[in-house]
Amino acid sequence: MEECHVVAMPYPGRGHINPMMSLCQLLASKTDRIRITFVVTEEWLGFLGSEPKPPPANVRFATVPNVLPSEIGRAADYPGFYEAAQTKLEEPFERLLDRLEPPEPGVIIYDTEMPWVVGVGNRRDIPVASLWTMPASVFTVFHHFDLLVQNGHFPADVSAPISIPFHSIPHPIKLMEVPNNNPTTICHVVTMPYPGRGHINPMINFCKLLASKRDDILITFVVTEEWLGFLSSEPKPPANLRFATIPNVVPSEEGRGADFPGFVRAVLTKMEEPFERLLERLEQPQKPSFIIHDTCLPWVVGVGNRRDIPVASFWPQPVSVFSVCYHFNLVKLNGQFPVDVSERGNELVNYIPGIPPTRIADLPTFFHGDGLKTVHLACEAVSRVPKAQHLLLTSIYELESQTIDTIKAAIPTPIYSIGPSIPYFRLGDNSSLSIDSQNGESSYMQWLDSQPESSVLYISQGSFLSVSRTQMDEIIAGVDMSGVRFLWVARGDASRIKEGCGVPNSKTIVEDWKIGWKVRRGMGEEEHLVTREEIAGIVQRFMDLESDEGKEMRGRAKELKEVCRRAISKMGSAETAIDAFIQDISRHRDR
């Protein structure tokens, strides 16, 4: 049996989308030979992306632009909303059908209240099925409406008191939570992250923090269609944070490591046009008045300047990396770029303002190896920051004060140290933790709670691992050999980890903060394989609670923890900076 591609087009309302989605999930669970594309507006995909349970793998979302009045406030003019649903959706839906991935749609399921879909299907020779989401009695009343007119019962004066019996019928479908439809928007902020996990996570965490502080700020979080699919399983965002998409104009996240320089070039050249087209559509309930963009997307500054929209550059990495990129010309003037790290890696770089003497080998990884292909792009992006109206640094001032002060002196732009780019505002909230639906295992938090204190090693290698496959195999085997309990956050190599075992930079962590050890041996092309035996020994040493060096390291870590806690507390440096930034962007409410 060939795969059957079903396209579902619901009416854009909760009482219609819920039944359509429930039917699609039921169909998808019956056979994996059915692929369902569920079509909604960009705004509605944002609402659905916060649902507690993602749909089956063979149900995917696709979007049409927000050509209708926003769900947030549609009741103010429902006849106008209904008319827009009948007249504005057909053209973008038909364009979407043109670009859907094979196989070609074999059938369209549409909400009966979207009659124009029948015409689309007939023109394209695609069978259509009409889904009626209300009681059958309501359908038959509409079908025989002419009888009401003929018998003089329409129009009628219904002002006289009438009694209507109400029968409560248990509904087998669990309804999704209805979003808050009544926030008063005073400032519409559009955010454009770089399409990578290490950039999207910090940006969305900051947006959630902004949204939780002020319900009169509406945030539109822009990602590619592929990334919106990834984010659909994330915890529910605040009601005033919605998603919007641009097409998948860059290589897939699933294989970007095969040609990372090509991926970067696509990000810098392919995303600007669809982003600008999206801005033209983002008019409901209020036109964009501010843009927050990832520093690695410098073209956003030009878009904002052309449209007279203020922009804030968001830097999600350590401030020391920003400073090195900003002063890149000094590295070249001093003859330390480009160099062979295996020969000159121990040379000190001691002239970058605000940065303590640093070995060449400890500069950001894109200063050597394969990074040489993209380092000029990163440095060029940082050089564009002064053209933005604000700079947001995801750092705690007390931990990088010297570097931050140096940057503030060099760049005549308001700069805010907004604190860590992790969801610290959710500490103590376990609502986002779930049960593994496939094997019934308890959540990882329940497992952690059952372990002895300080006995679990947390391992995270980020979303773009740069070690060889051979080295990864040694890491997996070494951790397993150590006998230590661990919680490994894995992406991509998860299956290999399960089979084998049944981000400030390293200089800051090891030399400045003294809360970690280096594992790498050698530099550049002379870098050697670290064996599983060595890794097992390091892990055992690291987790030895009785050793003096371990106690000292944990003591320093607790001190840093307290510095961070004070910064994010009320009146702390990060909290104060965020409040100041909110005040600044709120001034643009009437633009």
- Alpha-carbon distance of 47 to 43, in angstroms, equals 7
Question: Domain 445-567's class?
Answer: alpha beta
User: Helix or strand or coil: residue 7?
Assistant: strand
Structure token digits, residue 509: 């962590």
Those residues with Cβ within 8 angstroms of residue 500's Cβ, 6 or more apart along the chain or in another chain: 473, 476, 477, 480
The domain defined by 187-318+384-426+576-590 folds into Rossmann fold (3.40.50)
pLDDT tens by residue, the chain, 591 residues: 578 999 999 999 988 999 999 999 999 888 888 999 999 998 888 888 656 567 788 898 999 998 998 887 777 788 889 999 999 999 999 999 998 878 889 999 999 999 999 999 999 999 999 999 999 888 888 888 888 888 877 787 665 544 434 333 333 333 333 344 444 446 899 999 999 988 999 999 999 999 988 888 899 999 999 998 888 777 778 888 999 999 999 998 877 778 888 999 999 999 999 999 999 888 655 678 899 999 999 999 999 999 999 999 999 999 999 999 999 999 999 999 988 888 898 999 999 999 999 998 888 877 777 778 888 999 999 999 999 999 999 999 999 999 999 999 999 999 999 998 887 766 655 544 444 444 434 467 788 888 998 889 988 766 555 677 888 889 899 999 999 998 887 665 554 555 445 445 677 888 888 888 877 655 555 567 889 999 999 899 888 888 888 889 889 989 999 999 999 888 999 999 999 999 888 876 655
Calculate Rg over the CA atoms of the chain.
Answer: 28
Helix (H) / strand (E) containing 224: strand 217-224
How do the domains of the chain map onto residue ranges? 4-151, 187-318+384-426+576-590, 445-567
pTM over 0.75: no
pLDDT at residue number 492:
56
Tokens of 554: 């944990």
Q: What is the 3-state secondary structure (H, E, C) of 278-295?
A: HHHHCCCCCCCCEEEEEC
Q: Are 574 and 419 in contact (CB under 8 A)?
A: yes
Query: From CA 390, how far away is CA 541, in angstroms rounded?
Result: 44
Residue-level pLDDT at 513: 83
Dist CA 223 CA 441 (whole Å): 32
pLDDT of residue 491: 61
CATH topology for 4-151?
A: Rossmann fold (3.40.50)
**Cβ of 451: how many Cβ atoms within 10 Å?**
11
4-151 and 445-567 have identical folds: yes
What φ, ψ does residue 351 adopt, rounded to 5°? -130, 5
pLDDT for position 24: 92
Q: What is the pLDDT at residue 466? A: 61
